[in-house]
Amino acid sequence: MPHRLTWGVRGNLYLWVNGLLKKVFIIAGTLVLLTVALLVIYETSMNPALSRQDALINAVELPDTIEKIVVRSAIGDSGGNGDHRTLRSVMLVRTELTIDDLREFFANQAHTPDRIEEASGYLFTSRRTFRLEFEELRDVDEFGGYYFIEFIG
């Protein structure tokens, strides 16, 4: 006579398989989340293309009349294809030159900026959804002579 599984044996087997599947899904989900987190960290902080762009911008020789305070870079939205992977760098400078003088100076450089604007606060906001904070300007009351110079790569 063939052995027939009783409900007790089948129920225990079902519970064992169900428990094993839950563990597999938890492990797989954790691996997916870790992979996504590592990709985000790589794209935002260790991106080699962003490092190359930073090196190009930091290599710009500024005259004594322009003081480079800091260069901040990140990956943001260009508005073109919507992939939010456009390399953007913003140089904060302080100078007595006018904005037209700055534009004229940078027009003759190998790596020309996409936009130059007067700083009006510690937050730089591009035409799209890209924003950078400049802590160096938090305690500044008068923003005259401070300029954001944006490079899009």
Residue ranges per domain, the chain?
A: 1-46, 48-152
Mean pLDDT confidence for 42-70: 77
Q: For the chain, give the percent of residues with pLDDT over 70.
A: 78
pTM above 0.75, yes or no: no
Average pLDDT over residues 59-71: 88
Q: Given this model, what pLDDT does residue 30 score?
A: 93
pLDDT at position 7 over 60:
no
Task: Give the pLDDT of residue 112.
Answer: 82
The reported pLDDT for the residue numbered 4 is 58
For residue 12, which amino acid is it? N
pLDDT at position 95: 93
Residues 73-126: tens digit of each pLDDT: 877 665 565 666 677 888 999 999 999 999 998 888 877 888 899 998 888 887
Asked if 153 and 75 touch (Cβ cutoff 8 Å), the reply is no
One DSSP character per residue, the chain reads: ------HHHHHHHHHHHHHHHHHHHHHHHHHHHHHHHHHHHHHHHS-HHHHHHHHHHHTPPPPTTEEEEEEEEEEE--SSSS---EEEEEEEEEESS-HHHHHHHHHTSSS--SEEEE--SSEEE-SSS-EEE-GGGTT-S--TTEEEEEEE-
pLDDT score for 148: 93
Average pLDDT over residues 56-69: 85
